[in-house]
Amino acid sequence: MNSSAPAASSTHLVLIPSYNPGPKVRETVAAAREQWTPVWVIVDGSTDASVEMLRAMAATDAGLHLVVLPSNVGKGAAVLHGLELAAAQGFTHALTMDSDGQHPADLIPRFMAASAAQPQAMVLGVPVFAADAPRLRVNGRKVSNGWADLETLWMGIGDSLFGFRVYPIEPLRQIMHGQRWMRRFDFDPEAVVRMCWRGVKPVNLPATVKYFSADEGGVSHFNYLRDNLLLTWMHSRLFFGFLLRLPLLLARRLSGT
C-alpha cells in the first residue's frame, strides 16, 4: 500500500495505456501514484515483463488498478476501454499519460486542478523539450500542429500530439463511439481536433518531456514511415470533416463561443 499517495479522487483518475514499455514503467507508475489516487494502467497486450511487474505493484497498492487486455488493440482503443470502465464507476475526467517515463508525473496535481477549475475544458500539455530531444521528432510535430490549427480555425491547441492531458470523459466517449478512427497512434491528435469541433475548449499548460536512450531504458514504438502515413491519412480525413463543419466553426468564432 502506498501510504504517501494523496486521498482518492471520485471524479478524476490517471489513465496510463501501456504496451511493452520496458523497465521505465515501474518508476513511471510509482511516480504517478505519489501524485494521485487512483491510477489505472491499461496493459495493451504487452508481451514483455512489464505485466508481471505491474501485477506485483497492484497487489500491494489499493490505489493502483490494473486492466490487462489479451491482445494489442492500439493506444486509442486501450484508452477507450479504460474510459468505459471509468465512466461506469462515476469518474468524469481522465488524465492520460504514457508509460515510458517521458511525461512529467509531478505535474499531475497541477493539471487536475486546472481541470477541476474548468471541468468543461480539456487540459493539454504543451511539451517543453530539452536540448537533446530528437530534432526529427521536434520539428516533425510542427506539421501536425499546423494542420490541427487549420482544422479547428485556431481554437488554441498548443500541441496536437503530446499525450499528457486531461479529458472530460463523456464527450470523448461519445466522439469515439461516433466513428471508427482514433484507435491507434492517431488517437491524440484526432481527439483534440474532434473535441474542439464539439465545442470543448483547450486549456494549455507547459510540460517537460524526456527522451531516454536505450541504455537508459528508453523504448520507442514510433515508426517514422508507418506512423507518418497514418497521420497523413488522419489529417486528410479531418480536413474534409473541417470543410463540412466550416460554417459552424466560423459562426462560433464570430460569436466568441
- Which residue matches cell numbers 501524485? 35
Taking only the tens place, the pLDDT of each residue in 220-251 is: 655 556 666 878 889 999 999 999 999 999 99
Segment 207-231 mean pLDDT: 67
Higher pLDDT, 124 or 139: 124
Per CATH, the homologous superfamily of domain 12-255 is Spore Coat Polysaccharide Biosynthesis Protein SpsA; Chain A (3.90.550.10)
Model confidence at 187, pLDDT cuts 50, 70, 90, reads very high
For the chain, the straight-line distance linking the first and the last C-alpha, in angstroms and rounded, comes to: 46
Segment 205-220 mean pLDDT: 70
pLDDT of residue 139: 75
Taking only the tens place, the pLDDT of each residue in 54-105 is: 999 999 999 999 999 999 999 999 999 999 999 999 999 999 999 998 899 9
DSSP the chain: --TTSPPPPSSEEEEEEESS--THHHHHHHHHHHH-S-EEEEEES--STHHHHHHHHHHT-TTEEEEEESS---HHHHHHHHHHHHHHTT--EEEE--SSS-S-GGGHHHHHHHHHHSTTSEEEEEEEE-TTS-HHHHHHHHHHHHHHHHHTTS---S-SS---EEEEHHHHHHHHHTSS--SSTTHHHHHHHHHHHTTPPEEEEEEEE----GGGT------HHHHHHHHHHHHHHHHHHHHHHHHHHHHHHHHT-
Using an 8 Å Cβ cutoff, are 69 and 44 in contact?
yes
Using an 8 Å Cβ cutoff, are 55 and 26 in contact?
no
pTM: 0.90
- Which residue matches cell numbers 479529458? 167
Model confidence at 141, pLDDT cuts 50, 70, 90, reads confident
Query: Of 41-45, 46-50, 60-64, 216-220, which gets the smallest average pLDDT?
Result: 216-220
pLDDT of residue 105: 97
Q: CA nearest 35: which of 58, 70, 73, 9?
A: 9
pLDDT of residue 220: 60
Model confidence at 192, pLDDT cuts 50, 70, 90, reads very high
pLDDT of residue 70: 94
Domains in the chain: boundaries? 12-255
Strands 12-18 and 39-44: parallel
pLDDT of residue 3: 57
